[in-house]
Amino acid sequence: MPTKLGIVSAKGGVGKTTAAINLATSLYDFDQEVTLVDANMLNPNVSLHLDLPQATVALQHVLNSEIDVSHAVKAHHTGLKILPSSISIDASDVDICRLGEVLSGLDGTIIIDSPPGIGDNTKYVIDSSDKVVVVTTPDLTAVADSAKTVKLAGKMNKPVAGVVVNRARNDSYELTTDEIEIICDAPVIAKIPEDQEVRRAQFQSVPVVRYNPYAKATIEFNFLAAKLLSVNYKPPNMLAVRRLFRF
């Protein structure tokens, strides 16, 4: 498992932040020390997803050398450590080129939620990462944009751990795993299903892997974390679970 893992997407709205939060939480549940960094300084959403109060001390202050990174990290009830971004600070006033230096001051596994697209801020996230995970939905436009992100990482000599296909319905209107791998020239390492439990969890400001340990999306996020850690994961026996609830 790389120390710093950049979670990137070429297109907004594919569930990148949801994937970053749940992957980070699942890694924590596999006994990893995890810091989740909200590097989307244009539209930071990690705090909104996790019901954190608006940060008075945030990543932007650290990047501008106003404060040590340890003073900006917040503890969360999930067990995660969160390095938030502030929505009230103009990203153009931030010294983003110091991102790699700042992240080197954090311990354990670092999950970096990148801004969408392939602009300068995303490039700094990729450059600061040991590996990147590209998040996409299984529609042609999102996958085609994801291929650009994979190529960008290649040009920057940063390995791509793989593609995470989010909100998959496995119907005839979406690309298959083989088609996505051919277009992106990268392996699909997880396929997270469209799951109402994810929406319910977001409404409660809780990662779905904690909201419902038996949800289909939870099981796939756990498989993803196990794959990145190169450990075995045995999903719950759903037949036994159904019998228990029936009882």
Three-state DSSP class for residue 246: helix
Tell me the C-alpha distance between 195 and 169, whole Å: 9
Q: What is the pLDDT of residues 191-216, one digit of tens each?
A: 999 999 999 999 999 999 999 999 99
Q: What is the pLDDT of residues 64-87, one digit of tens each?
A: 988 999 999 999 999 999 999 998
- pLDDT for 2 equals 65
- Predicted confidence band at 90 (pLDDT cuts at 50, 70, 90)? confident
Q: What is the pLDDT of residues 131-182, one digit of tens each?
A: 999 999 999 999 999 999 999 999 999 999 999 999 999 999 999 999 999 9
The answer to whether residue 244 scores a pLDDT higher than 60 is no
Q: Describe the strand order of the beta sheet including 109-113 as a list of residue ranges.
A: 74-75, 81-83, 34-38, 109-113, 4-8, 131-136, 160-168, 188-193
- pLDDT for 27 equals 98
Q: What is the pLDDT of residues 22-48, one digit of tens each?
A: 999 999 999 999 999 999 998 999 999
Tokens of 191: 């396929």
- Which has the higher per-residue pLDDT, 171 or 246? 171
Tell me the C-alpha distance between 202 and 207, whole Å: 7
Three-state DSSP class for residue 194: coil
- Predicted confidence band at 93 (pLDDT cuts at 50, 70, 90)? confident
User: Of 4-13, 26-35, 53-62, 224-233, which gets the smallest average pLDDT?
Assistant: 53-62
Spell out the domains of the chain, with CATH numbers in brackets: 4-246 (3.40.50.300)
User: 109-113 and 34-38: which strand pairing?
Assistant: parallel
- pLDDT for 91 equals 73
